[in-house]
Amino acid sequence: MKDLIRTADRRALSGLISGFAFVAGVGAGVASSDAPYPLPGSDVDKIRRYFRDNAASARLSAAGQLISAATLAHFTASVIRLTRRADPTSRVLPATAVIGGTAAVASLTASGIFAGTLTTARSDSDVAAVAMHRRAFLAGGVTHGVGFGLLVGVIGLAGPRTGDIPPPVGKLAVGSAIAGLLTPLYLIAESMAWLIPASRITGLIVTGLTAVRLSRRRHA
């Protein structure tokens, strides 16, 4: 058994904050609005009822996404350090964490910006409103699903090796990653839309648990 004395990575708690910011922002936005969130493919009237008639609620959701993206960037750095402990000679795991984290942060940021823009006069045109709404979904749903899936998958491969996360959580992470990487199937068949929330929810569980465990000092 390996001798292990690891200093707590307090910055890893950014992963927990990221998940909380996303859930709190989106939840507060939907709960405070008197119109339902427009699903992909919604007409311009439904889009305007949520984003223009309930602009304050929509901005709460957008702010949650932007805060979540910023803190996810910090958590990505902790995941990269985790991969280096798991295999100091490997370049694949750290590179995958960088690619996945960067894609997840950039796409979530883009989604938040599009959502915020939909509350302004820049969405006055029907064509612009529908286009921005679709871009927000593609960025925050499909593209983020792939990037976040890569990041969570790296946790599932590296975490059990170092003992930072137990094998069952590692398996959950791998399953979540597979669902995330398959989210582009939605573009082919809308019936595959369930992959987006499935990968997001399980991924948030994994990153939250990992954040807590990385933030604690370990002895073995």
Residues 6+ apart with CB under 8 A from 113: 62, 66
Assigned domain for 96 exists = yes
Is residue 2, in this structure, part of any structural domain at all? Answer: no
Residue 6 phi, psi (nearest 5):
-115, 135
Q: Which residue has the higher pLDDT, 54 or 90?
A: 54
Q: Evaluate whether residue 44 is within a structural domain.
A: yes
Q: What percent of the chain has pLDDT over 90?
A: 91
Query: Nearest 5 degrees, angle CA 194-CA 105-CA 144?
Result: 20
* Residue 27 counted as domain residue: yes
Instruction: At 177, list the tokens.
Output: 């990653």
Q: Give residues with Cβ within 8 angstroms of 1, minimum separation 6.
A: 220
Q: Could you give phi then psi for residue 187, rounded to 5 degrees? A: -70, -20
In a domain? residue 20: yes
- 1 within some domain: no
For residue 43, give its domain range: 7-219
Q: 4 falls in which pLDDT band (50, 70, 90)?
A: low
The pLDDT tens digits of the residues spanning 97-154 come to 999 999 999 999 999 999 999 999 999 999 999 999 999 999 999 999 999 999 999 9
Alpha carbon distance 134, 131 (integer Å): 5
Q: What's the structural domain count of the chain?
A: 1
Residue 210, strand partner residues: none
Q: At 119, which amino acid appears? A: T
Residue labelled with tokens 């899936």: 149
Dihedral angle computed from the Cα positions of residues 171, 173, 176 and 177, in that order, rounded to the nearest 10 degrees: -110
**Cα separation, 97 vs 78, whole angstroms:** 10
Above 80 in pLDDT, residue 5?
Answer: no
Query: Domain for residue 81, yes or no?
Result: yes
31 domain-assigned: yes
Q: What is the pLDDT of residue 85?
A: 93
Q: Structure pTM?
A: 0.92
Residue 5, helix vs strand vs coil: strand
List the beta bridge partners of residue 218.
Answer: 6
| Cα(93)–Cα(76) distance, integer angstroms | 12
Render pLDDT for 12-38 as a digit per residue (tens, 0 to 9).
999 999 999 999 999 999 999 999 999
pLDDT at residue number 1: 37
Alpha-carbon distance of 220 to 216, in angstroms, equals 13
